[in-house]
Amino acid sequence: MVPTLACVVVLVPPAAATVARHRRVAARHAHPLAQRKATHGTAAGGGRDAARGASEPALVHVHVRKGDTLWALLAAHGIAPAEARSWLAAAAPVYDLHSLHPRRGLTLRFDRATRALDALRYEIDDRSLLVLERTPEGIHATRTGLPYFTEVKGTAGRIEHGLREDVIHAGAPPRVVAQLADIFGWELDLDHDLRPGDEFRVLYESTWQAGETRSEPGTVLGAEIVAANRAVTGIFFEDADGRSGYYRPGGEALGRDVLRYPVEFTEITSEFTSRRRHPILHLFRPHLGVDFAAPLGTPVRAVAAGMITFAGWARQLGRCVRIDHVGALSSAYGHLSRIAAAVMPGTTVAQGQVIGYVGASGLATGPHLHFALYRDGEYVDPLAQMAAAQPRIPEQERRDFERVEASVERQLAALPLAGGTPTVSRSDATVRPE
Ligand SMILES: [Zn+2]
């Protein structure tokens, strides 16, 4: 049952006079961030998928790329500079976190209730790990052996009900479904384009921590969806500098500059776009936006890289964030319960970065995200936008990509459609005692 959501659209498009300025600002800030991929830090998926409301902490796996600093990565997850300093200082006697290496794993653990960072783990090298934990006495730092190993799992099946239900029923975790939605979101309308009998195949990493009874889903390495006899394949590729993305066979990018979903697909309970009667004001208003119903506190992601132009209270929209992007695009996110700490006017954000959390602030009867997109100050339908494709595989990476492509396609083809989650391969790393 879908509760009636109140959402008055008072999101007035930016006045014409300010459009030129917006465009200039967006262009100036666009360059480095525009290249950032959705997969950065699994921000594309967020990693906070376990049972909502449970007291267990939320783990976020951050993917480190060339040039990343701990400051920027922590800021991207809502950690204020003063707090970031205390984590760096605590690490210093064990390891200098100022120098992060591309492709090394960084895991942040947040208290689910307070959203405070309570632990941080970083892979120093192939065999050791820096572990930082918040204790009543302060932040405690240790160096230990790598307490986990990663295996590759595969799941395939046919659509019976919908991607969400069927992929989970076949044995893959919800986080994998959320990643599939980010990979294929612009190729297929996952709620409407899939029909019974269509097929899916997915390969994903799964990490076992020592002493844990279940594994943590990681990056989707490859996936294929066959809808109406048309196959779309996405292959994960990461270069030596840690830049990564999803590509079609042949090397064309599958990813786009704008994420289709500002909230993880698996958290969305319903979508509204139509003009409708407002339940509080009892009058019809044009609805310039898409409302995504999602549980209170669900992370809200910037759909594209850009610069924050507004973060605060905007009357009926309640707590609201606005972002300027390249190409005269801007986006707005309303009814937030909270705005992420590092999000303030003038700061830049990466695509997929968490900017706030779903709420019901302002004129709203239930928790939902009001999301709107503008081009040249004019409202555009976010779900109908065709965002620009990201660059294809560069020529110098082509050989490496072809190797990965061949391996992923072979493994996808070998998955039985009957379901189940066979382990496809296992990394050489074994569980090392501390
Ligand atoms: Zn709305």
In angstroms, what is the span from residue 293 Cα to ligand 1's centroid? 10
In angstroms, what is the span from residue 372 Cα to ligand 1's centroid? 8
| C-alpha span between 228 and 422 (Å, rounded) | 26
In angstroms, what is the span from residue 72 Cα to ligand 1's centroid? 31
In angstroms, what is the span from residue 355 Cα to ligand 1's centroid? 18
In angstroms, what is the span from residue 333 Cα to ligand 1's centroid? 9
Task: Report the CATH fold assignment for 16-37+260-384.
Answer: Glucose Permease (Domain IIA) (2.70.70)
DSSP-derived 3-state class of residue 155? strand
Evaluate whether 16-37+260-384 and 149-254+394-426 have a shared fold. Answer: no
User: Residue 199's beta-bridge partner residues?
Assistant: 158, 226
In angstroms, what is the span from residue 391 Cα to ligand 1's centroid? 33
In angstroms, what is the span from residue 225 Cα to ligand 1's centroid? 31
- Is residue 226 within 8 Å of 202, Cβ to Cβ? no
- Is residue 220 within 8 Å of 180, Cβ to Cβ? yes
In angstroms, what is the span from residue 275 Cα to ligand 1's centroid? 10
Long-range contacts of 189-194 (CB under 8 A, 24+ apart): 190/162, 190/163, 190/164, 190/265, 191/162, 191/271, 193/227, 193/228, 194/159, 194/162, 194/163, 194/225, 194/227
Residue 286: predicted pLDDT: 57
| C-alpha span between 157 and 232 (Å, rounded) | 15
- Is residue 52 within 8 Å of 361, Cβ to Cβ? no
In angstroms, what is the span from residue 168 Cα to ligand 1's centroid? 29
Q: Give DSSP secondary structure letters for 102-132.
A: TT-EEEEEE-TTT--EEEEEEE-SSSEEEEE
Neighbours of 284 (CB within 10 A): 10
In angstroms, what is the span from residue 314 Cα to ligand 1's centroid? 13
- Is residue 360 within 8 Å of 296, Cβ to Cβ? yes
In angstroms, what is the span from residue 43 Cα to ligand 1's centroid? 24
- Is residue 16 within 8 Å of 377, Cβ to Cβ? yes
In angstroms, what is the span from residue 290 Cα to ligand 1's centroid? 6
In angstroms, what is the span from residue 291 Cα to ligand 1's centroid? 5
In angstroms, what is the span from residue 273 Cα to ligand 1's centroid? 8
- Is residue 281 within 8 Å of 8, Cβ to Cβ? yes
Instruction: Give the right CATH number for 40-146 from 3.40.50.880, 3.40.50.920, 3.10.450.350, 2.30.42.10.
Output: 3.10.450.350
What's the residue count for the chain? 434
In angstroms, what is the span from residue 9 Cα to ligand 1's centroid? 6
In angstroms, what is the span from residue 317 Cα to ligand 1's centroid? 8
pLDDT tens for the 434 residues of the chain, in order:
334 444 544 333 333 333 333 333 333 332 222 233 333 333 333 333 333 334 556 788 787 888 888 888 888 888 888 899 999 999 999 898 887 888 788 889 988 777 889 999 898 876 788 999 999 989 999 988 776 677 888 999 999 988 888 998 888 888 899 999 999 988 887 777 889 999 999 999 887 766 666 677 778 999 999 998 899 999 999 887 778 889 999 999 988 888 888 998 888 876 655 444 445 544 445 567 888 889 999 999 999 999 999 999 998 899 999 999 988 899 999 999 999 988 999 999 998 999 999 999 998 888 999 999 999 988 888 777 666 778 899 999 999 999 999 999 999 998 888 755 666 655 433 333 22
Domain boundary assignment for the chain: 16-37+260-384, 40-146, 149-254+394-426
In angstroms, what is the span from residue 425 Cα to ligand 1's centroid? 45
In angstroms, what is the span from residue 262 Cα to ligand 1's centroid? 13
Residues ≥6 apart with Cβ < 8 Å to 236:
39, 219, 220, 221, 222, 244, 245, 246, 404, 408
In angstroms, what is the span from residue 283 Cα to ligand 1's centroid? 15
In angstroms, what is the span from residue 348 Cα to ligand 1's centroid? 25
In angstroms, what is the span from residue 57 Cα to ligand 1's centroid? 31
In angstroms, what is the span from residue 381 Cα to ligand 1's centroid? 12
- Is residue 75 within 8 Å of 81, Cβ to Cβ? yes
In angstroms, what is the span from residue 41 Cα to ligand 1's centroid? 29
In angstroms, what is the span from residue 163 Cα to ligand 1's centroid? 26
pTM: 0.66
pLDDT tens-digit readout, 146-185? 766 778 889 999 999 888 889 988 888 888 999 999 999 8
* Tokens, residue 348: 């830049």
In angstroms, what is the span from residue 340 Cα to ligand 1's centroid? 20
In angstroms, what is the span from residue 278 Cα to ligand 1's centroid? 10
In angstroms, what is the span from residue 270 Cα to ligand 1's centroid? 12
Residue 44: predicted pLDDT: 33
List of E strands, 269-406: 270-272, 276-277, 284-285, 290-293, 299-301, 306-313, 319-324, 329-339, 348-349, 354-358, 368-375, 378-380
For the domain made up of 149-254+394-426, the CATH class stated in words is alpha beta
In angstroms, what is the span from residue 357 Cα to ligand 1's centroid? 15
Residue 341: predicted pLDDT: 85
In angstroms, what is the span from residue 15 Cα to ligand 1's centroid? 20
